[in-house]
Structure 1
Amino acid sequence: MSEGKKMTSSRRHHLKSLILQIAATWLEQEATETAAAKEAHLAENCPAPNLSGDQASLVDICKKLSQAIDKIDEDRYDAEAKVNKSDKEIAELKLKVVELAGVKKPALKKVRMSADTMLQALLGGKHKVTMDLRSNLKQVKKEVKEEGNEAVGDWRKNIEDKADRKKMFETS
């Protein structure tokens, strides 16, 4: 076994399977508990209606049921309004957290745009601004060196010139 691992892979898999089995039993227990709580709540708040009797008693039962439905709808609407309000507050708080943490600058994309189009985009379509940046540059003339051209020229001329120089030194 290496220094980083302190248990074998078979042991790790065995423990993982045990944890999953325990979690599965907990989920089953939770499901049975919620079903039992639901049954208890329905038995407490919604007793079985007594349908025996004449038409007047049935109409009275229907009125009571419609009133109960209206009350439940009001409660549902209130709960939904509270949830929406808290969702808005959560969104506002998230924005505040982002503001406090500092807004990260997104990576900028390269845009090929000339100076004229950039100024037109900034100032709007009304303003006609032309900015020729190249007109402000200095004009530089290239000077051609004559010495380089002579060396490239005809080799016989160079020899004749040197021969003339040699004669000058000999005569003096």
Structure 2
Amino acid sequence: MAIYLVKPKVSVSRKNHLKSAMLTFARELLEKEKIERAQEKVNYLQERVAPLQLSGLSSQDLMDLCKKLHQQVDVTDEERYDCEMKVGKHNLEIENLNMKIGDLRGKFKRPPLRRVRMSADAMLRALLGSKHKVSMDLRANLKSVKKEEKEKEVDKEVGDWRKNIEAMSGMEGRKKMFDAGTQ
């Protein structure tokens, strides 16, 4: 006795309503996330960079300010380069570890195998060792088929087809066909 569990089916309109509700909820979350990221960026820039006051500065003061800003840009560029190099090293390390995991699992690409001509006896000796003397003659158990019998049957079937039809007509012919099929 088989017991089948039947899941309650949800109507198409209900599915569409749930799908649209999920999409609107996800859209709202994405918008909130964008707003939060923009706010974090503004807060970070306010903490790191002081607003510039260029009014009332002489040309020498402006040149000094430009040099100072240029040095800060160089420092941040070096930090960015260092961070990129660290990320590159970590990605390479992750890739190497993934390859090691693949090797340990055995999910690497296997090379194509070459065909080796070896008899069954030689294969058994290789697997079991030279102590066990097991001979495996696979052809000994095969049934021999005589070709002569098949050729005679073909000769019998070739003949006048009208005679075969007349012989098979009626109940006797059907009985002959039935008897021929059981032999």
Amino-acid identity (%): 39
TM score, norm. by length of structure 2: 0.54
Distance 1:13 1:103 in 2: 41
Count of paired positions: 110
Cα deviations across residues 62-115 of structure 1 (Å, max 9, x unaligned)? 11101110110111011001101101111111111111101455584999xxxx
Q: Which residue of 2 aligns with 1:163?
A: none
Task: State the secondary structure of the residue aligned to 1:68.
Answer: helix
Shift of 1:45: 1.5
Higher relative contact order (CA closer than 8 Å, sequence separation 6+): 1
Distance 1:39 1:19 in 2: 30
TM score, norm. by length of structure 1: 0.57
Task: State the secondary structure of the residue aligned to 2:54.
Answer: coil
Structure with higher Rg: it is 1
Structure 1 stretches of 4+ with a deviation exceeding 6 A read: none
Q: Which 5+ residue runs of structure 1 have no aligned equivalent?
A: 112-172
The answer to whether residue 88 in structure 2 is matched with residue 61 in structure 1 is: no
Q: Which 5+ residue runs of structure 2 have no aligned equivalent?
A: 116-183
The answer to whether residue 105 in structure 2 is matched with residue 101 in structure 1 is: yes
Cα deviations across residues 23-57 of structure 1 (Å, max 9, x unaligned)? 00000011011111111212221222221211121
Shift of 1:3: 2.5
Tell me how large the CA RMSD over aligned residues is: 2.4
